Amino acid sequence: MNDMGRFLPAAAVVVTVLLLVVRYRLPTRDCPWWVWAVLDTPTLAAACGALLAWAAPTWVAVPAHEILHPAFLFFAGWVGLEIGCGLDLRVVRRAAVVPFLNETAMALAAAATVFAAAYAGSRLIPGMPPPMPEALMVLAGVCVAGPALLGTGPALSRGAGRGSFWNPSAAASIAVLLAATGSALAPWPVLETIVPGWDVRVLLEIDSVFARLLWAMGAGCLAGFVADLATKDDFAPGGVYPQLAAVVLIAAGIAGAVGLETLLVGAVAGFWLINATLRRLDILHVLKRGASLPRLLVPFLGGWLVGSSVGSAGFDIAAFGLVLVLVMFVRPAARILGRRVIQVGQHASRRRRPEPFSPALANIDELGILLAAVFTRLLEPAAGVGALAAVLLAQWLLGVGASAWDQHKMSGKIEPPTRK
């Protein structure tokens, strides 16, 4: 056993290094499409994190596990800031209202489908406990979540992002609101503090879900106000990234400590900041340049959380299967069908043929993983680990399926005959 304990960390490091070398040394032209689909970068990061955490020795696993929670809080605040900055009123005013209404309706329909499927499964499958409403709200958020960095996703209208790279979307905001509502449904900790100088204990307990959401929105407004002040008059060569990161870190830490949903706090802070700042373009470019960091580290941290928790917390196969099935079926239907309805509504008035939908709409990015990480706070430890593992596996499967569909469409195209 001692020899095996020494062998596993070394083998995990070797396999991880080999995977990374194979991924970044692949020739661009000679490799088939499925190699790139299987070795997708975020999926590879999640696999490496799970592998390293599973084989890590105790003196590495214990300190690393203590850093996971603050890291998830920071990235949740940062991704929420990206979502909020996507709701720029200068751009939203140029976008049509109907696509937002259609997207909202499809998101609500997907949430209703998640609830109906979960409760039907609990009635039809013997021995399956009734699902928790708060967990179903978060699962519905995973199924309807749009891209976090909205400039990388499909635009709701061609002229929506004119003058900038950002395109407004309602899906990401609705997903964050669903997850925040699910977190507010869960029991909150009772806050106890001592008033300085008076030696008087003050207890703060909020039972209303609406009041908890208002607290999160108030904290987000305060964080956005502070971020606006911190970045307004700074013209340092390094840009405004350190100031934004510091504000997000402090706001995320305080929000996580008192039980607020950090994603909602960050989204409200971004909405406040982007509509009040005088350095709008500087902040947008900082967010776009910094998008690669959460895109790689969030899947890695998710994989690490699964790999480190399997041995201690266990693994709930029922939660894993339920979340995997719902995400694999409901998310593609909600994202692709919603996009199709929006395109048909837009082009019907202009009498144009709707653009073909892309299966990449169903792909899961860092926002979906951060939403899945909320399961680890709402469910039992084994069920939370199983749900997070299901979302990571669904990310890989949906990515491979999207690549296969794109390859099928490309191979089915017929070149028109050339005239001589």
For the stretch 262-287, what's the b/e string if a residue is b when 16 or more beta carbons lie within 10 angstroms of its beta carbon?
Answer: bbbbbbbbbbbbbbebebbebbbbbb
How many Å apart are CA 143 and CA 155, to the nearest integer?
19
- Relative to beta strand 191-195, strand 200-204 is antiparallel
The CA dihedral of 318, 322, 324, 329, to the nearest 10 degrees, is: 160
C-beta separation of 80 from 176 below 8 A: yes
- Name the nearest CA neighbour of 337 among 157, 106, 99, 105: 106
Low pLDDT (below 50) residues in the chain: 1-3, 152-164, 414-420
Q: What is the pLDDT of residue 268?
A: 95
Residues in the chain: 420
How many Å apart are CA 345 and CA 338, to the nearest integer?
11
C-beta separation of 324 from 389 below 8 A: no
pLDDT digits (tens, 9 = 90+) for 178-206: 999 988 888 766 655 555 556 656 566 66
How many Å apart are CA 417 and CA 64, to the nearest integer?
61
- This prediction has a pTM of 0.85
Give the start-to-end residue ranges of the domains of the chain. 64-408
The CA-based angle 12-16-22, given to 5 degrees, is: 145
The CB density around residue 111, as the number of other CB atoms within 10 Å, is: 22
- Name the nearest CA neighbour of 69 among 308, 393, 301: 301
How many Å apart are CA 69 and CA 388, to the nearest integer?
14
C-beta separation of 61 from 314 below 8 A: no
- Name the nearest CA neighbour of 295 among 79, 65, 39: 79
The CB density around residue 319, as the number of other CB atoms within 10 Å, is: 23
The CA-based angle 146-149-151, given to 5 degrees, is: 100
Structure tokens at 358: 């892309």
How many Å apart are CA 135 and CA 195, to the nearest integer?
36
With a pLDDT cut of 90, the percent of the chain lying above it is 20
The CB density around residue 412, as the number of other CB atoms within 10 Å, is: 7
C-beta separation of 260 from 267 below 8 A: no
The SS3 call for residue 96 is coil
The CB density around residue 213, as the number of other CB atoms within 10 Å, is: 18
